[in-house]
Amino acid sequence: MMDLSPSSHLDRVYREHHGRIVATVIRVLGGDFLAAEEVVQEAFADALVQWPREGTPREPKAWLMRAARNKAVDRLRRGERLDARVDALEVAAQVEQDAATSPDERGWSDTADDTLRLLFTCCHPALSSEAQVALALRTLCGLTTDEIARAFLIPSATLGQRLVRAQRKIRDARIPYIIPDEEMLAERTLGVLHTLYLVFSEGYAATEGPELLRVDLCAEALRLGRLARELMPRDAEVASLLALMLLHHARRHARVAPDGGLILLDHQDRSRWDRAELNEGLEQLDIALSLGACGPYALQAAIAALHAQAPSAQETDWEQIVALYGRLCVIAPGPVVELNRAAAVAMARGPDQGLALVDDLEASGRLEGYHLLPAARADLLRRLERWKEAAAAYQRALALVRTQPERRYLEERLREVLDASRET
């Protein structure tokens, strides 16, 4: 175990295991999300007091899981619900047995764990798609209300009300805390995949904070993606999403400089890409295509595969990528997809053509507040040596960016264009 302070241990356990602890406690409490969150917060609060005084336990996650589980059982006992009390004790005993059994010794019924149950419960069709994703990010990943609100570009108070309504609906409608049977899987699959991809995306490109990557979120999304793949082996989009996540995740080490800074794709050392994950991603994409995949995740995975197979940015088949983004704009339209297509057009046909598309997008106002729009525009203006306009665009991007590595990257580019501007 690394030599960390109690508070550092606690922070690490929260980041890596909060979702699994909440998921298990929800099962103990019969699907009561609100009570489960309160109980888990109480357990973390106890740890914050006890660990500095008594020392960090040998198994911090197990300590917190046990503390939260015991609080959940006590809460049911105080409620004098005899039936719930008996069930809770049975579930608690099962949780204890699960914790004592290694993953390799479990069958499917065990590997389809509480986090997968939680994911499918959050994605129940009785909830709106926005509520499904927000609830999953809050409970599964432990993101704060502020973080999720910023990702949705809405006020925190609005997001908070949305979360509480969703949690109450699950409780009041007695939505079962289970993985649905095969007949009911299809209606939840899209929500589950959308949520998984958002979890992965938040890990691969954090919306704010000191780090570019959140490896804990990426790892959890991949773990759940593999479980979903095992659960739905004939679903082409499930295989496509797993392929997409693997192909992106394989590039993670090359995206981050030794000082934590951002390295864009065209400057990455491709020898640092994880070849095993790239090969697994390509294999999953082949499986998806053999199953008839033609949806948005398959298209994005195909784009990622073209990057993975290109020897360099200059030797990438950008025209094919432009075509794939064009198809994506038809079946899954959105301003971010259009922005990505504009960047591909710039690589394939020149920055002036890409800039025209970015300017149209900016004029539409659909990406107001999204820092990557002015950042992309600044990069194209820089490549066209329109230094003063590039500087203004970098300054707009800097006013919106929330992660420190991206901020440092934009500041460096701004200095470069300002220097170039003074020399001309």
Residues 6+ apart with CB under 8 A from 413: 378, 379, 382, 394
pLDDT in tens, 172-226: 888 888 888 877 787 888 888 988 998 898 889 887 778 888 888 898 899 889 9
3-class secondary-structure state, position 209: strand
Query: pLDDT confidence of 299, banded at 50, 70, 90?
Result: very high
Q: Which has more confidence, 212 or 412?
A: 412
For residues 238 and 160, what is the distance between their CA atoms, to the nearest angstrom? Answer: 30
Report the C-alpha gap between 81 and 72 in whole angstroms.
Answer: 13
Residue 349 has pLDDT above 90, yes or no: yes
Q: Give the pLDDT confidence of 92-106 residue by residue, as tens digits.
A: 555 555 554 444 333
| pTM listed for this prediction | 0.81
Closest residue by Cα to residue 250 from 223, 224, 273, 220? 273
156 or 242: which carries more pLDDT confidence?
Answer: 242
Q: What is the pLDDT of residue 104?
A: 39
What's the whole-number mean pLDDT along residues 378-401? 97
Q: Is the pLDDT of residue 145 over 90?
A: no
pLDDT computed for residue 82 by the predictor: 47
The Cα–Cα gap between 356 and 382 comes to: 14
> Residue 355 pLDDT more than 90?
yes
What pLDDT score was predicted for residue 153? 67
Per-residue pLDDT reduced to its tens digit, 35-47: 888 999 999 999 9
Mean pLDDT of 126-151: 81
Q: How many whole angstroms separate alpha carbon 232 and alpha carbon 108?
A: 12
Residue 4's pLDDT is what? 66
pLDDT classification of 84: cutoffs 50, 70, 90: low
Instruction: Say yes or no to pLDDT of 393 above 90.
Output: yes
Sequence-distant (≥ 6) Cβ neighbours of residue 9 within 8 angstroms: 51, 56, 60
Helices 145-152, 129-141: inter-axial angle, 10-degree rounding: 140
| The pLDDT value given to residue 61 | 87
Instruction: Using pLDDT thresholds of 50, 70 and 90, give the confidence band for residue 110.
Output: very low
Structure confidence at residue 107 as a pLDDT band (50, 70, 90): very low
**Rounded CA separation 121/409 (Å):** 40
The residues near 213 (Cβ < 8 Å, ≥ 6 apart) are 203, 204, 205, 206, 252, 255, 256
CB atoms within 10 A of CB 385: 12
Report the Cα–Cα distance between both ends of the chain, in Å, rounded. Answer: 56
Write down the pLDDT at residue 185: 81
Q: With 80 as the cut, is the pLDDT of residue 87 above it? A: no
- Using CA atoms, how far apart are residues 2 and 9, in angstroms rounded to an integer? 9
How far is residue 249's CA from residue 93's CA, in Å, rounded to a whole number? 37
pLDDT number for residue 214: 84
- pLDDT at residue number 399: 97
Residue 74: pLDDT above 90?
A: no
Nearest partner of 123 among 72, 206, 15, 198, judged by Cα = 198
